[in-house]
A and B are shown apart, each in its own frame.
Chain A
Amino acid sequence: MKPSSCPSAALCAALLLAPATVLGQDARQIMEEAQTRTRASSQHYEGTLQVFDARGKISDKRWTFDRLGSHGSSRSILRFTAPPEVKGVALLVVNHPDRASDQWMWTPAIQRDRRVALQDRSQRFFGTDFSFEDLEERDVDQYDYSMDGEESLNGAPCWRIVARPRKTKVSQYSQSRVWVRKDNYAYQQVESFVKSEVVRVLKYSDIQKVQGIWTGRTLEMTDLRRKSRTVLKLDELEYNRSMKDEDFTLQALRREQ
């Protein structure tokens, strides 16, 4: 019997090879797959934000988020809607696959936009534990990956992958450690490092399938240096909504909504 025509041999080969194929899937492939599965032409949500500072003080804010495009070639506008003191403050992020994003902030009270300098991206975003850089969309081609092992997190088996930014990616972080769920390739957790110290931890929870895309509806970012955390809940989450290019420009940013 020729091996190719022997069903048992083929089965054995398949059985033998299957785990090898899974194990052989390198870190980059996992990350590419994770990115592919979250690809959408647009995203919209209404976010509820709670910041818990080191003294236990809690501040609440709300914003709307719209993104056109996906990952490295996307544009997004984030607009605060509450409380009244901050309503209308907005951030426009234009992501590029091959270089750092461009970011502008709009302050309606003085009718001024201002560019967020590259050097300032490591600063906290308006008192939250996210930095300006954390609001950028990452593209898989901006990093180099290596497998760090496997681990279960919150009962979900995950791959643990180390991502190091390439030279073209200007980042405050020396590396990130990403937990990707094996069952749906959704992110479970991201630890961000400066040199060898973990400075921020981003946890995803309440992971749901929305329009075919597995998405963490609750994100919790903890700043280990400041001992504070920010919880962001994504409400009214919608993908592939119809959006126009001209709604993601500086002129649109200046238009108050």
Chain B
Amino acid sequence: MILLRLISWPYTRKHLARTILTTAGIVLGVGVFLGMHTANQSVLYALHETVDRVAGATELQVTAGESGFDEEVLERVQARPEVRVAVPVIEAVVDTALPGRGSIMILAVDMTGDRSLRDYALESGDEAVVDDPLVFLAQPDSLIVTREFAEQNHLQSDSPVPMRTMEGPKQFVVRGIMKPSGLAKAFGGNLAIMDVYAAQKVFGRGRKFDRIDLAVSEGFTIDQCRAALEKTLGTGYQVETPGSRGQQFDSVLRVYSVTMSITSLFALFVGMFIIYNSFAIAVTQRRAEIGILRALGATRRQIRALFLAESGVAGLVGSTLGLGFGFLLARATAGYVGQMLEGISGIAQRVDEVATDPKLMGLALGMGIVTSMVAAFIPARNAARVDPVQALQKGKYQVLSAGENRVRRLTAVAFAAASVICLLVNGGAVVFYAGFFLATLAALLLTPALALWLTRAMRPLLRWLWPVEGALAADSLIQAPRRTSATVSALMLSLAMTIGLGGVARASYESITEWMGTALNPDLFITASPTLTSRSFLFPAYLGPTIRQVDGVEDVQGVRTPRVRFRGTPVLLIAVEVEKWAARAGRRPVEGRADEMYRLAAEGKGAILSQNLASMKGLHAGDLIDIPTPAGPLTLPVVGILEDWSDQQGSIFIDRSVYRKWWNDDRVNTFRVYLRKGASLPAVRRTILERLGTNRRLFVLTNEEVRSYITGLTDQWLALSYSQIAVAVLVAVLGIMNTLTVSIMDRRRELGVLQAVGARRRQVRYTIWMEALGVGFVGVLLGLGLGAINLHYVLEMAHRDISGMLLPYRFPTNIALMMFPIILGAAFVAALWPAESAVRGSLVQALEYE
């Protein structure tokens, strides 16, 4: 402690700017880690919160995927002695036409029995009352809203609430207001209650319910009740606690969570390099100080402990600031993540609060401190090894010894060879990730040598551009490889990850575009919601022939897309008229024969899987799968595997006749409409809207609009890769500023001499700038090189462990080219202040500097 106070603190104060820059690396890493995970958790927390609040006293819930089930199931459940009370539920998220309110969750229940499970009113309270239950039931336009919703929209009893329903825009009436607690806080307070039978009509549910909520009879346990219901209902139904249902959302967000983890851990890793760089430089600078301390009796252990303690404190300060930064980031991104989730999966959730998790905060704090200390370990060890005599010899340690170089290169080659072996050997996940790690280590070990070689290669060009300044800059870099290699390494890693993610983005984009070209080729899409993923509203099947009769329409295909639980994962079941679909939008399978695949599926003798689902579940053509249905398990062989981007969790394609038979459901999510040759698309669209859209909720989207929507969703998702660029730029700025600041301190005398012999300030500035640009350029080149290798690993990771999609190798040339001006620009900006500080100091003091 005394050494910290007497030695470290004065040094820190003297080099405050550099300390701040060093700490900024940890702030960035911890902030990104905490921010991304907190945003993720906030969305999940909001989803779970809604599930729990809506569940109330419900102990078990019966569902059959997203397709719902016939009303008669309710009587079967109610007949069980293990069931004390069972009530039907329909849940839907709808748009209100209230200004600025967006979506509202409708919880539709049978009020005769639902009061046993959910609390709508206080026993003695006068705040929350359903004014007249009979009127509520008798009038299907009745709503109970939350106090919060009512106040925000200036509503009271009998106030109208406009909503867009299956029957077109309708006015609903507030007939009760809930107190602001419990159920009323679900979905951020944007919740309304209505009668379940009225909801069937409003949301096109026919005679189906979404689920049954129930409480267990006295004398029975939840497990006993669940077992009895599972036996009664069969395998097509899920009987779960509300908490288990909430866990489905975790899997939907899994892909995003994994990507966030990679990005945030990477930011921390890069922060580590910045810390390493700073401490390595600090050890070099404080050699004399260390030598004196050793001469006065300080042990090697004490010196090591001093530097580790400094790094620990820096880590603590940086992590603490990083927590604050992380929360700000979480606030900014939570809403974005929620929107993205709704767009991709149709699961809507309002994220009004950022969920603070003390464990996550503790983890982030710990990671920041540990990362800082790990980063400083080698410099601390080197500091401990400083010989007191040699410590006073300036410059000795700037050059890497030939011996050190050789060891590094040999180790790098060994690691590289090992990583190649790992690639060739099909040894599973452990071998794969070991190979990835070894390849990265090999690149890091080779960085000083490669940076040196590149700088030497650049020297003639720099001399040619600016004979004096260019040469000085190149020589400075060549003579101080330790100073620059850490920054170059950090930049290299950051850019390699950027290229990796950018490559995945580009490959995904190309694959999605290609998929849209064949799979999404109808001229018009008729949906019941403006987004293709919302499944709150459904069409009756009879609408298909009606649309077919519109002049100009050649063919109409109805598609039903409920989510079903397949081997623990909520996947998209796509029930389509396979024969028609194959004729118009058939794609070549990645496994199986196209003609046989479509024929068997059309005959109801097989299912087609999406590639990502097959990959994640280890399935191949010919395997048998069981799909849970309300009528029992449907066993079908996999007749083919297609590349398909319909859903991140995966898709199963079956013929609509099979779906109708096993789910007893002929409703439709979307009609795919093909026009006759020569028909006018705007005219047909107008006719459909006029004929069918006036009394019905109906959206007619053109092919272009659908593609644009999907492209927008893709852009949202792939925005992550662009956020990496921001991280790379920050790394560049921090690292280069750090390096240059030290460089200028070290060369103060040299720069003073230059000015004394006639060099102008402008020339000194140019030298510093050129150095910065040099570091940036070398970093970019190495980063692109490692990125090309990294991309292969990232694609494989995506295929194995993230999304299951097999993407082609596409080097993101546009991003790579963008990196040059961005990083060089950042390097230039980073050099501005160090360059100014180099020319502004007193010349006399500079000459006296020692």
Contacts and interface: CB of A to CB of B under 8 A. Distances in A.
Interface string B68-89: 0000001100100001111000
Contacts of B113: 117, 119-120, 123
Interface of B: 74-75, 78, 83-86, 110, 112-113, 115-116, 123-124, 126, 132-135, 137-140, 195, 197-198, 200-201
Closest 6 CB pairs of A and B: A126-B134, A120-B113, A127-B133, A86-B138, A119-B85, A112-B197
A118 interface: yes
Given A59-B132, A123-B112, A126-B134, A107 B140 contact: yes
A140 B438 CA distance: 87
Contact of A85 (B115, B126, B138, B200): B138
Contacts of B135: 85-86
A119 B86 contact: yes
A109 B132 contact: no
A37 interface: no
A80 to B, nearest CB: 7
A190 B74 CA distance: 34
Contact of A118 (B78, B116, B132, B201): B78
Nearest to A132: B112
A241 interface: no
B138 A114 contact: no
Interface in A79-117: 80, 85-89, 105, 107-110, 112, 114-117
A110 B110 CA distance: 14
Contacts of B137: 89, 105, 107, 126
B177 to A, nearest CB: 14
Q: Count chain A CB atoms within 10 A of each CB in B124, B197, B200 and give the residue with the most.
A: B197
B112 A109 contact: no
Interface of A: 54-55, 59, 61, 80, 85-89, 105, 107-110, 112, 114-120, 123-124, 126-127, 132, 225-226
Contacts of B84: 119
A118 B110 CA distance: 14
Q: Count chain B CB atoms within 10 A of each CB in A54, A55, A114 and give the residue with the most.
A: A114
A158 B589 CA distance: 86
B141 to A, nearest CB: 8
A127 B198 CA distance: 19
B75 A115 contact: yes
A110 B201 CA distance: 8
Contacts of A86: 134-135, 138
Contacts of B132: 59, 127
A16 B110 CA distance: 61
Contacts of B139: 85, 109
Contacts of B110: 114, 120
Nearest to A123: B112
Contacts of B195: 107, 110
A89 B78 contact: no
A135 to B, nearest CB: 13
A225 B124 CA distance: 9
Nearest to A86: B138
18 contacts: A54-B124, A59-B132, A85-B135, A85-B138, A85-B139, A86-B135, A86-B138, A105-B137, A109-B138, A109-B139, A110-B198, A110-B201, A114-B112, A116-B112, A117-B75, A119-B83, A126-B134, A127-B134
B608 to A, nearest CB: 39
Given A107-B138, A119-B84, 6 more contacts: A59-B132, A105-B137, A107-B140, A110-B201, A116-B112, A120-B116
Contacts of A114: 110, 112, 197
A127 B115 CA distance: 12
A73 to B, nearest CB: 23
Contact of A110 (B75, B115, B134, B197): B197
B112 A55 contact: no
B79 to A, nearest CB: 9
A182 to B, nearest CB: 38
Q: Count chain B CB atoms within 10 A of each CB in A88, A116, A127 and give the residue with the most.
A: A127
Contacts of A110: 140, 195, 197-198, 201
Nearest to B215: A119
A55 B122 CA distance: 13
Contacts of A126: 133-134, 137
Contact of A107 (B86, B124, B197): B197
A86 B115 CA distance: 21
Contacts of B85: 117, 119-120
A88 B140 CA distance: 13
Contacts of B74: 117
Contacts of B86: 117, 119
B126 A55 contact: yes
B760 to A, nearest CB: 88
B195 to A, nearest CB: 8
A37 B759 CA distance: 125
Contacts of B134: 61, 80, 86, 89, 126-127
Contacts of A109: 138-140, 198
Contacts of A226: 123
A124 B133 contact: yes
Nearest to B110: A114
Contacts of B83: 119
Contacts of B123: 225-226
A202 B666 CA distance: 50
Nearest to B85: A119
Nearest to A83: B135
Contacts of B140: 107, 109-110
A150 B78 CA distance: 42
A128 to B, nearest CB: 8
Contacts of B197: 107, 110, 112, 114
Nearest to B126: A55
Contacts of A116: 112
Contacts of B133: 124, 126-127
Contacts of B112: 105, 114, 116-117, 120, 123, 132
Nearest to B83: A119
Contacts of A124: 133
Q: Count chain A CB atoms within 10 A of each CB in B78, B112, B123, B133 and give the residue with the most.
A: B112
A86 B134 CA distance: 7
Q: Count chain B CB atoms within 10 A of each CB in A86, A87, A117 and give the residue with the most.
A: A117
Q: Count chain B CB atoms within 10 A of each CB in A55, A61, A112, A132 and give the residue with the most.
A: A112
A79 to B, nearest CB: 12
A119 B137 CA distance: 19
Contacts of B78: 117-119
A42 B138 CA distance: 28
A109 B139 CA distance: 6
Contacts of A54: 124
A63 to B, nearest CB: 10
A87 B113 CA distance: 22
A60 to B, nearest CB: 11
A229 to B, nearest CB: 16
A89 B138 contact: yes
A118 B112 CA distance: 11
A105 B138 CA distance: 10
A107 B141 CA distance: 13
A125 to B, nearest CB: 9
A54 B135 CA distance: 19
Nearest to A111: B201
A158 B751 CA distance: 117
Nearest to A117: B78
B672 to A, nearest CB: 31
A107 B196 CA distance: 12
A80 B126 CA distance: 27
A155 B137 CA distance: 42
A165 B84 CA distance: 19
Contacts of A88: 138
B208 to A, nearest CB: 13
Contacts of A107: 137-138, 140, 195, 197
A48 to B, nearest CB: 15
B353 to A, nearest CB: 34
Nearest to A108: B138
